[in-house]
Amino acid sequence: MSHTYFVTGSNRGLGLEFVRQLSRRGDVVMGSVRDVAQVDAGAEHAASLVPLELTDQKSIDSLPERVGDRSIDVLINNAGVSSDSSTLARCDAAELHRVFSINSIAPVLVTRALLPNLRKGSRKLVVTVSSQLGSITNNSGGSSYGYRASKAAVNMLTVSMHHELKGEGFTCVVVHPGWVQTDMGGPNAPLKPDESVGHLIRLIDRLTAADSGRFFNYDGTTLPW
Ligand SMILES: NC(=O)c1ccc[n+]([C@@H]2O[C@H](COP(=O)([O-])OP(=O)(O)OC[C@H]3O[C@@H](n4cnc5c(N)ncnc54)[C@H](OP(=O)(O)O)[C@@H]3O)[C@@H](O)[C@H]2O)c1
């Protein structure tokens, strides 16, 4: 049975790989990108493209106008950015705001904007791509101040969404995709996008409401907060 997915940041990296793999198996995919005109709408990018700038609340709030009243079964909050804030000296306020805006706040606002569509869906599933760098327990090395904190924040926000929405049958989880060869992960990462996303789709396929509020590694194991 095919499902309808909404994937943010679908023009490159893991987002594009989600679009490729889901479309290939017959799912319907809507993908958000910042600039639709710049996307090579080739055969492999089968998603219907929706413009969305995650640092612009107006762009997020007007998303329902562009999506319409169609049902969405699974939302994948994938888009994210890394940060230059590697040391205290580099923790510039504007930079921290930027990273939190995209990595932490936007997934909540996008979920809120698409709630009517998700309520009509058969899975009511919200998957937010976090990072194991957001695990406080696993922070043995420091650095990456903004990135780590923004992912820890989105983990907390996801657990709060889980508690608010579980009564309606929603499943809200955060996932770590592994260290992956994308623009963000760089060429030395051990995983290729197709491997990471293949694992994540198998995980997403088997998620149920009993999994809501959890933090998963791409291989399906649980990560510590
Ligand atoms: N790769 C890894 O090793 C790794 C590890 C752990 C977690 N993650 C997480 O996995 C997710 C995907 O990462 P990736 O490796 O695929 O990164 P990527 O290749 O750098 O792609 C990032 C995506 O996010 C979009 N994006 C960035 N800023 C945006 C904004 N302001 N508004 C709308 N879209 C925006 C980008 O669009 P543009 O092209 O327009 O910039 C792009 O589509 C992220 O949440 C990341 O934190 C990745």
CA pair distance 125, 217, nearest whole angstrom: 17
Residue 223 placed within a domain: no
The tens digit of pLDDT for each residue in 59-74 reads 999 999 999 999 999 9
Q: Are 50 and 87 in contact (CB under 8 A)?
A: no
Centroid of ligand 1 to alpha carbon of 196 (angstroms): 14
| Whether the predicted pLDDT of 37 surpasses 70 | yes
Residue 110 belongs to domain with CATH number? 3.40.50.720
Please identify, by atom number, the ligand 1 atom nearest to the C-alpha of residue 133: 6
pLDDT of residue 118: 98
| Whether the predicted pLDDT of 44 surpasses 80 | no
Domain around 51: 4-217
Mean pLDDT of the chain: 96
pLDDT of residue 45: 59
Q: Which two tokens stand for residue 192?
A: 């290729």
Q: Kindly give, in sequence order, each residue whose CB lies less than 8 Å from that of residue 83, ignoring residues fewer than 6 positions away.
A: 95, 96, 98, 99, 144, 145, 146, 147, 150
The tens digit of pLDDT for each residue in 96-112 reads 999 999 999 999 999 99
Please state the pTM of the whole predicted model. 0.98
CA pair distance 27, 209, nearest whole angstrom: 21
CA pair distance 160, 196, nearest whole angstrom: 26
pLDDT of residue 39: 82
CA pair distance 10, 75, nearest whole angstrom: 12
The tens digit of pLDDT for each residue in 190-221 reads 999 999 999 999 999 999 999 999 999 999 99
Residue 224 placed within a domain: no
pLDDT of residue 154: 98
Beta-bridge partner residues of 29: 5
Residue 25 placed within a domain: yes
Residue 185 placed within a domain: yes
If one compares 45 and 182, the residue with the highest pLDDT of the two is 182
Residue 225 placed within a domain: no
78 lines ligand 1 (CB under 6 A): yes
Ligand 1 atom 43, closest CA: 9
Residue 222 placed within a domain: no
Mutate to test the pocket of ligand 1, among 56, 58, 78 (most ligand atoms within 8 A of CB): 78
13 lines ligand 1 (CB under 6 A): yes
Residue 202 placed within a domain: yes
If one compares 221 and 45, the residue with the highest pLDDT of the two is 221
12 lines ligand 1 (CB under 6 A): yes
If one compares 1 and 217, the residue with the highest pLDDT of the two is 217
Count of domains for the chain: 1
| Whether the predicted pLDDT of 143 surpasses 90 | yes
pLDDT of residue 47: 74
Centroid of ligand 1 to alpha carbon of 1 (angstroms): 29
| Whether the predicted pLDDT of 168 surpasses 60 | yes
Tell me the DSSP string of the chain: ---EEEEESTTSHHHHHHHHHHHHTT-EEEEEES-GGGS---TT--SEEEE--TT-HHHHHTHHHHHTT---SEEEE------S--SGGG--HHHHHHHHIIIIIHHHHHHHHHHHHHHTSSS-EEEEE--GGG-STT--S---HHHHHHHHHHHHHHHHHHHHHGGGT-EEEEEE--SBSSTTT-TT-SB-HHHHHHHHHHHHHH--GGGTT-EEETTSPBPP-
Please identify, by atom number, the ligand 1 atom nearest to the C-alpha of residue 53: 32
| Whether the predicted pLDDT of 1 surpasses 90 | no
Strands lying side by side in the sheet with 28-33: 48-51, 28-33, 4-8, 74-77, 125-129, 171-176, 215-217
185 lines ligand 1 (CB under 6 A): yes
